[in-house]
């Protein structure tokens, strides 16, 4: 009789154990990462801690960082006029509403779960009442660390770091090829025409300057270094362009700019112009330094300097 009781007890234990597993396993299997993740987290912004969504789905952009958000795959529902009109983002901006820091009613209608702006935006307190609002001071971080910082805000820090690492490597490789092609001592100037104004830029003022000078290590003319490196940019008259012209010139031109100076003998006698070392890019959208724009500019420089 004892021989019969012991197997019965063992069977009962196994059945109970199996039942116990059948009650707990489905719960564990059904627990998706999204369900186990908190809906919000505390982001340490420039102005203090802000409770932000872990997976934002309706972001309003009041800054020049729209391309950073696009590159990280986070939906934008409203953006400033500069982002909205940027031809680089034409596809992504198709269904995005144009807003400003004064369009509070319009922003409310968009029902954002996150607002990203510059530190200089108006109505910060009112925007904060609509949705968590995070602002950045333009230029406080360099263009690559700015992307990583926005990656932290959007819970996509690793993705942002991966892009920065890969992009940095590709820029360095392209820089090595370009310097081998044009010479280690060759200089490059970056100019822009906007309305009736002409500017020359230092090494951190968009228009591809970060790529050319910081990433590729190309040299700028001494006169540019003297007048524009610290301030970021310097306004010129057409007559003195030869003083700032490098062996190569990158010219950013807005479609409505006055480019009549290009018809003058002074301009046409600049060695870079005479030698075909003038590379013209579209001004609209060139003033951004986000990943989407940087990828476009890197390809432009490879096409221009290397023909590929």
Global pTM exceeds 0.75: yes
What residues are paired with 197 via a beta bridge? 194
Q: Helix 291-301 and helix 157-182: axis angle, to 10°?
A: 20
Q: Which tens digit of pLDDT belongs to each residue from 125-145?
A: 999 999 999 999 998 999 999
Cβ atoms of 283 and 86 within 8 Å: the answer is no
pLDDT > 70 in the chain, percent: 88
Helix (H) or strand (E) holding 181: helix 157-182
Instruction: Report DSSP letters for 20-85, one per residue.
Output: HHHHHHHHHHH--HHHHS-SEEEEEETTEEEEEESS--SEEEESS-HHHHHHTT--EEEE-HHHHT
Distance CA 131, CA 58 (A): 10
Q: Which tens digit of pLDDT belongs to each residue from 169-206?
A: 999 999 999 999 999 999 999 999 999 999 999 999 99
Q: Which tens digit of pLDDT belongs to each residue from 268-300?
A: 999 999 999 999 999 999 999 999 999 999 999
């Amino acid at each position: 009789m004892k021989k019969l009781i012991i197997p019965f007890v063992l069977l009962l234990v196994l059945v109970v154990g199996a039942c116990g597993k059948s009650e707990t396993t489905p719960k564990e299997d059904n627990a998706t990462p999204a369900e186990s993740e908190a809906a919000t987290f505390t982001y340490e912004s420039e102005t203090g801690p802000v409770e932000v969504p872990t997976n934002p789905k309706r972001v309003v952009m009041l800054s020049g960082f729209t391309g950073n958000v696009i590159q990280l795959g986070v939906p934008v529902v409203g953006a400033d006029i500069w982002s909205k009109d940027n031809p680089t983002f034409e596809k992504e901006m198709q269904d995005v509403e144009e807003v400003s820091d004064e369009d509070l009613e319009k922003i409310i209608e968009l029902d954002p779960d996150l607002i990203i702006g510059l530190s200089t935006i108006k109505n910060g307190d009112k925007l904060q009442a609509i949705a968590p609002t995070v602002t950045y001071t333009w230029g406080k971080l360099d263009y690559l660390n700015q992307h990583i910082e926005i990656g932290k805000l959007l819970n996509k820090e690793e993705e942002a770091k991966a892009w920065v690492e890969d992009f940095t490597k590709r820029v360095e490789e392209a820089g090595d090829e370009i310097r081998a092609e044009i010479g280690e001592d060759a200089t490059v100037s970056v100019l822009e025409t906007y309305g009736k104004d002409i500017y020359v830029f230092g090494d951190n003022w968009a228009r591809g300057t970060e790529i050319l000078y910081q990433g590729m290590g190309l040299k700028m003319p001494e006169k540019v270094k003297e007048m524009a490196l610290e301030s970021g940019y310097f306004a010129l008259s057409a007559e003195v362009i030869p003083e700032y012209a490098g062996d190569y010139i990158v010219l950013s031109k807005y479609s409505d700019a006055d480019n009549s100076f290009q018809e003058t003998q002074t301009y046409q006698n600049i060695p870079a112009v005479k030698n075909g070392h003038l590379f013209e890019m579209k001004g609209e959208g060139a003033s951004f330094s986000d990943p989407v724009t940087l990828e476009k500019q890197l390809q432009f420089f490879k096409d221009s300097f290397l023909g590929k």
